[in-house]
Chain A
Amino acid sequence: MQKDFHYYATYCAASLAGYTHDECMEICYSAQFVDLCSETFLRKIKAPKEAATTQLQLELMDTKTDISGLQIITRIWSSFHFLPYDLHAERKHATKMYLDKYRLICDTNSDLLVETIKLAKDKSLPAVGLAMHVLADTWAHRYFAGTPSFVINNTDFYFYELIPGEDGFTERPVQFRHNPSAPDDPEKGIYTNSIHQSSETSVMNLGHGRAGHLPDYSYARYKYMPAWADYGEILKDNPSDYMNAFCQMIYAMKYLRGMNDSFEKNRYDTETVAPWKDEIQTILEKRQIDACEDWKRLGEKISGKEIDDFDIEKYESEYTGSSSKDDTYLGRFIEAAIAQKSMVTYHIFSSGNKLAGISKIKKAEDTDLSGRSGKKISGGGEDKE
């Protein structure tokens, strides 16, 4: 997803969940900040690089795709943008190497999502925002994996956009081109994607690069054949998925506020959304590559307050000038990011998958996602590269 949903739509959801305007601003800032907290930024403010929640294109270009480099990439992208659905998925006749990547495919309503939300319980507002970013991305980025893999993430010419019309939907082939400087053209169906690279671990095959930004556009409905699907066809309905993401965010934030006792999978707060459903649906269906203005207008209508534009430097001086960095906004975000990364990396490692590196539990208790009783994680483990 992009700024329109992570920042403004999260603000709307937080407001509907009952947070005050100031709390909503902190939550939505954190949700958007997950897409910007790179190693470059952290180095600039002299913060620990382990808290990186994303990698810039230039950083990815410089990252070697040897074992260590791939683990760094997988750790970041799987923890924050492509939360794995089933770390114990089985597939016939699949090698261990293939299965490790197959098990990192992202989808909604996973056990890891429950762990992510619970990890943010009784934590700071930046932690809430970070959890909302992860939740929202499970809807947009489903069916892609947060590790560079040609055999999982590749797509081909079988890619059709479904354009709504009076008599239903019309299929139109999507034209992909490799021109990052040219904007996508929804009217003509021309989108930019990453270059075809048959090398298995090329960064071009990371996440949804091969599908361009289509998964991040709320209006897009399309069908395609992902490489992992064995010639099966995926139908992606973004307006529906984004609506579910929005309703689930409200449900999750109500849990985090203490209004609900538990967070369960496949639960969506449609009741709270009902009065605004038509307006939200209109925004989601509108064919535009940036819906910030529309979401901002809706957010200001819901809360009655003005929403500040996102400013990446908003909390920088507070962090750099403070002697007690953990008590600053960015300090709390960093703590949440490290905890999230540790939790996801631990679970990936516990499942026998070393793609995200080795993870050692520090705390006395941990929870095993496969259902076996055991120790419980309370703050995440310590990661080893």
Chain B
Amino acid sequence: MPIIDIVSTEDIIRRKIRKHCNTLYVLGTGVIALGLWGALKVVLLFANNPAAILGDAIKDSSLSNSGIILVCVIILIPINILLLLYIFVGHHARAEGKGQKKRAFYIIVIAFLAFIYSVSAIFDVFALFVDLGDNITLEEIIVTTIVDTTASVTLIELFCSAIMIRKYRRIINTRDK
């Protein structure tokens, strides 16, 4: 089709910027979904089997109800912080994908999350070959491996796209000057 003929290096760079912006938008949405899924998983686990999260706290009869509530809140705080991190990253990625200028701090958060998930995925792979007793089944390990691997790939690609956009925009700005 005639209008899409690439006529200059700048066209190629602008096309790559649009591609990476699209990646940011799509994967940013995915990261938010990932965070919501993680939070939902914890809530469902807590609803079905509180002992899995609270552990010995609920077996301790010396704890009052308000004590148990305090334990729940303490456990839920890091989960909420993690959820907020996902939403923060996803929101900024989507906004940058739509063309808004965003500070680079969220890229550092992406790198941090990508590192966590990558390490988790590696440990999951090792766990496939290690006997962890009755606490966790093989199916759970396989699913966790898949989810962690997917998450780490998503976050790594998000990181790369955010970096590439900045790199290409710098090139465009340099050429414009």
Contact = CB atoms under 8 A, between A and B. Distances in A.
Contacts of A234: 3-4
A105 B98 CA distance: 27
Contact of B15 (A105, A143, A157, A231): A231
Contacts of A235: 3
Interface in A238-293: none
Interface in A323-354: none
Contacts of B6: 232
Contacts of B2: 107
A231 B19 contact: yes
A157 B98 contact: yes
Contacts of A107: 1-2
B18 A233 contact: yes
Given A157-B25, A157-B98, A225 B3 contact: no
Interface residues of A, number: 17
A271 B34 CA distance: 62
B18 A225 contact: yes
B4 A230 contact: yes
A346 B174 CA distance: 53
B144 interface: no
B28 to A, nearest CB: 12
A229 interface: yes
Contacts of A157: 25, 98
B166 interface: no
Contacts of A385: none
A143 B4 CA distance: 10
Contact residues of B: prevailing secondary structure = helix
Interface residues of B, number: 14
Given A85-B1, A235-B3, A230 B22 contact: no
Interface string B75-111: 0000000000000000000000010000000000000
Contacts of B3: 143, 232, 234-235
A158 interface: yes
B47 to A, nearest CB: 32
Contact residues of A: prevailing secondary structure = loop
A232 B25 contact: no
B167 interface: no
Contacts of A105: 1
B14 interface: yes
B141 to A, nearest CB: 32
Interface string B1-41: 11110100000001110110110010000000000000000
Contact of B1 (A143, A156, A231, A233): A143
A85 B4 CA distance: 14
B1 A158 contact: no
Contacts of B1: 85, 89, 105, 107, 143, 228-229
Interface string A79-94: 0000001000100000
Contacts of A85: 1
A229 B4 CA distance: 7
A156 B22 contact: yes
8 contacts: A85-B1, A107-B1, A157-B25, A158-B18, A231-B18, A232-B3, A232-B4, A234-B3
Closest 5 CB pairs of A and B: A232-B4, A231-B19, A231-B18, A231-B15, A229-B4
Given A231-B15, A231-B19, A231-B22, 4 more contacts: A85-B1, A107-B2, A158-B21, A158-B22
